[in-house]
Amino acid sequence: MNNFLSGLLAHLSVVKGEGRSRLKRPLHVVAFIAGVLLFSTMLVFLLVSLEDYLDRPLGEFTTYAYLIVFSAALISSATIIFPAPGVAITMAAATQWDPTWVALVASVGSTLGEVTAYLVGLWGRRVITREYSGAYLRAARWMSRYGWVGLTIFSFVPILIFDIAAIVAGALRFPLWKFMLATYAGRLPRSIFEAYFGFQILPFVFPSLFG
């Protein structure tokens, strides 16, 4: 397996390196969380303003809301390396519509979106830069040791760059159906957490928006 991984990394022209420094990672996590909360709050404000402007309850737009959540999650997961604000949209939507359904819709959309990164790895595209080479190596070692369990963990933990794990899964010729099943196994509880976190926290932090 070690020889195979060495050949694989050479094929993809992955340059060894540590990537981001350990000192910067906590700052990146804090910035990510703050950005998600800020963007979620802005979305809630826009939704409340839209309801007042239309003088109609947001419940009348449930179908469209779920389609937007699905599309946002799909696009967010389909972007390689560069994230889109799918988490923030899930959190904001959960404050206005059923958080369980929001989570279910988001989990399906994000799982389907990750197929893009899987196909990148499957087709051997050279998208791993020096900045992410260290993360790629760690993901490759994790996947070779734990298989679908490692993939599920990467899918569940938001601060891990799942796109890299998905590229590794494709490069290792991990069966697509197993990839999607493992991804969904991690993404469903993650989406539930995100939806109910937004459902509980945003009204608590910004009560004036939910009066």
Q: Is residue 14 part of a domain?
A: no
Q: For 98-142, what is each residue's pLDDT tens digit?
A: 999 999 999 999 999 989 888 888 876 555 545 556 666 777 777
Q: What are phi and psi of 199, to 5 degrees?
A: -60, -35
How many structural domains are present in the chain? 1
pTM of this prediction? Answer: 0.77
Q: Is residue 210 part of a domain?
A: no
Q: Is residue 70 part of a domain?
A: yes
Q: Is residue 88 part of a domain?
A: yes
Q: Is residue 15 part of a domain?
A: no
Cα dihedral across residues 126, 29, 75, 187: positive or negative: positive
Q: Which structural domain, as residue segments, surrounds residue 150?
A: 20-203
Q: Is residue 5 part of a domain?
A: no
Q: Is residue 9 part of a domain?
A: no
Q: What is the pLDDT of residue 184?
A: 95
Q: Is residue 135 part of a domain?
A: yes
CA-CA distance, 104 to 144, in Å (whole number)? 30
